[in-house]
């Protein structure tokens, strides 16, 4: 089959690789109809996530048709149309029982590696490094899906791929970011990063009753989409105005009640020397992650407010404003999205017309063009917001 393969930093290729085979009784093989490049794939592309190997198949947002099932899979049949959640979850461990599927205790066979970096291991993730399992991803023609009786979510035939594909990751991720803010009517929410996850965090914050949602980015086309597509009430281009002042202005000095970091470890800042400082530390590996958005979110947040972190971090950050965090009674919530528990309720919102996630798609390409898709998305070329690939 054809698959998008990580070769080296900023080098991906579409290659011929062997077809997947059933390895366990609870596996299924899915023939992929649509797959997408995620903002977090760019962290792999740019070489910020450790334990990638030449030849790894990328991609963790995919959907398609079940073409083969293992002997223990009773909930699916060949021909079912499914969206696959990006975290692999067994459904039987303590974490899965509590709905925390992204920290499934069984799905990562390389848990030892993850423990070394993070203390305890997390779930395996499709196409996302060996530390997170060494599972091939879904930017390919086919994928093996472990625990197929737990993950894949069946969708009806009458709804197009583009409306349901993002149930695999970015829509629930954005939604969980907003949900963790424990919003009450009248709340003001600020969202750092108007990439696809940021867009869905904004839309979800509106759905969950936020009065005012402020989008922060530096690309006018993303801020336009945040306002027109996701429903942000205000936008801040941090290259034009100082963010903290603008937020204080919008909230009469209180600061936003909730701040969502949808930027993550490669965030950018308009203050040249600070950006240079963190880039230099990343280069010499004294710091793996560049937490500008997170630092700013903490400084901006209203006393007693919530900082919700859904942007991806891989290792360690530096100059963390712990004093502000502690003294001002802030709370922090975070996590890789527990996708499984959000698929059904979000599907209902899509069905009812409350939500049409396809507004973030700017580029549709063939799987063969994946390398160009990565480069365009990374460089924000041609106002690129979201690339969907068809095998």
Partner 1 sequence: MGNDDRTRRLVNGLGLFSLGLGVAQLAAPGAMNRLIGAKDDTRTRAVQRWLGGAREVVAGTGIESGRSPAVWLWTRVAGDIVDLGMLGTVLGRSGRRAKTRGRTAVATAAVAGVTAADLLAALRLSRDDTDAGYLGNGRRGIEAKGAVTVNRPVGEVFAYWRDLENLPRFMTHVQSVRHRGDGRWRWRANGPAGMDVEWDADITEERTDEFIAWQSVGEASVANSGRVEFRPAPRGRGTEVRVRLTYDPPVGKLGAAVAKLFGAAPDQQVRDELRRFKQVLETGEVVRSEGTPEGAKSRRTVAQRPAQPAPA
Residues near partner 1 (CB under 8 A) are 3, 5, 17-21, 23-26, 51, 53-57, 72, 90-94, 97, 105-113, 124, 127, 130, 133-137, 144, 146-147
Q: How far is the CB of 184 from partner 1 (least distance, A)?
A: 30
Q: How far is the CB of 24 from partner 1 (least distance, A)?
A: 5
Q: What are phi and psi of 217, to 5 degrees?
A: -160, 180
Q: How far is the CB of 309 from partner 1 (least distance, A)?
A: 26
Nearer to partner 1, 109 or 231 (CB): 109
Q: How far is the CB of 61 from partner 1 (least distance, A)?
A: 16
Alpha-carbon gap, residue 202 to 290, rounded angstroms: 23
Q: How far is the CB of 340 from partner 1 (least distance, A)?
A: 15
Q: How far is the CB of 255 from partner 1 (least distance, A)?
A: 37
Q: What are phi and psi of 316, to 5 degrees?
A: -125, 145
Alpha-carbon gap, residue 41 to 43, rounded angstroms: 5
Alpha-carbon gap, residue 230 to 238, rounded angstroms: 19
Nearer to partner 1, 54 or 252 (CB): 54
Alpha-carbon gap, residue 200 to 213, rounded angstroms: 12
Q: How far is the CB of 193 from partner 1 (least distance, A)?
A: 27
Nearer to partner 1, 134 or 315 (CB): 134
Q: How far is the CB of 391 from partner 1 (least distance, A)?
A: 15
Task: Name every residue whose Cβ is closer than 8 Å to that of residue 133 and which is 6 or more positions away in sequence.
Answer: 88, 107, 108, 109, 110, 123, 124, 125
88 contacts 133 by C-beta, under 8 angstroms: yes
Residue 32 parent element (H or E): strand 28-37
Tell me how crowded residue 101 is: count the other CB atoms within 10 A of its CB: 28
Best CA proximity match to 292, nearest among 261, 334, 323, 331:
261
Residue 29 parent element (H or E): strand 28-37
Nearer to partner 1, 39 or 127 (CB): 127
184 contacts 217 by C-beta, under 8 angstroms: no
Task: Name every residue whose Cβ is closer than 8 Å to that of residue 367 and which is 6 or more positions away in sequence.
Answer: 2, 4, 14, 35, 139, 140, 141, 389, 390, 391
Nearer to partner 1, 106 or 267 (CB): 106
Nearer to partner 1, 109 or 335 (CB): 109
Nearer to partner 1, 136 or 291 (CB): 136
Tell me how crowded residue 303 is: count the other CB atoms within 10 A of its CB: 12
Dihedral sign of CA atoms 226, 307, 84, 367 in order: positive
Nearer to partner 1, 117 or 207 (CB): 117
Nearer to partner 1, 8 or 354 (CB): 8
Q: How far is the CB of 47 from partner 1 (least distance, A)?
A: 16
Radius of gyration of the chain (CA): 20
């Amino acid at each position: 089959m054809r698959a998008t393969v990580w070769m080296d930093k900023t080098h991906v290729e579409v290659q011929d690789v062997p077809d997947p085979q059933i390895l366990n009784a609870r596996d299924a093989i899915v023939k992929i109809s649509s797959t997408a490049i995620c903002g977090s794939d760019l962290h792999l592309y740019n070489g910020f996530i450790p334990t990638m190997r030449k030849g790894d198949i990328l991609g963790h947002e995919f959907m398609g048709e079940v073409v083969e099932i293992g002997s223990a899979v009773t909930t699916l049949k060949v021909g079912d149309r499914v969206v696959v959640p990006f975290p692999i979850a067994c459904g039987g461990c303590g974490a899965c029982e509590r709905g925390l599927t992204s920290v499934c205790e069984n799905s990562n066979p390389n848990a030892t590696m993850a423990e070394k970096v993070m203390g305890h291991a997390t779930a395996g993730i499709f196409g996302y490094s060996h530390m997170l399992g060494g599972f091939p991803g879904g930017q390919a023609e086919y994928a093996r899906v472990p625990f197929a009786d737990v993950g894949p979510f069946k969708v009806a035939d009458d709804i197009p791929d583009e409306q349901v594909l993002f149930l695999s990751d970015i829509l629930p991720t954005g939604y969980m970011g907003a949900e963790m803010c424990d919003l009450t009517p009248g709340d003001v929410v600020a969202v750092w990063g108007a990439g696809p996850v940021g867009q869905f965090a904004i839309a979800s914050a509106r759905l969950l009753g936020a009065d005012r949602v402020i989008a922060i980015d530096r690309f006018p086309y993303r801020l336009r989409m945040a306002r027109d597509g996701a429903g942000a009430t205000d936008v801040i281009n941090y290259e034009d105005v100082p963010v903290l002042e603008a937020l204080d202005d919008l909230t009469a000095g209180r600061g936003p009640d909730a701040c969502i970091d949808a930027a993550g470890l490669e965030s950018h800042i308009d203050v040249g020397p600070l950006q240079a400082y963190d880039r230099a530390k990343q280069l010499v590996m004294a710091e793996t992650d560049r937490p500008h958005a997170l630092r700013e979110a903490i400084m901006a947040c209203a006393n007693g407010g919530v900082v919700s972190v859904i942007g991806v971090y891989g290792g360690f950050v530096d100059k963390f404003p712990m004093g502000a965090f502690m003294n001002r009674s802030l709370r922090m919530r975070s996590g890789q999205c527990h996708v499984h528990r959000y698929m059904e309720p979000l599907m209902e919102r899509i069905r009812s017309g409350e939500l049409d996630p396809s507004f973030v798609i700017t580029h549709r390409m063939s799987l063969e063009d994946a390398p160009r898709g990565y480069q365009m998305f990374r460089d924000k070329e041609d106002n690129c917001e979201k690339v969907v690939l068809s095998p």
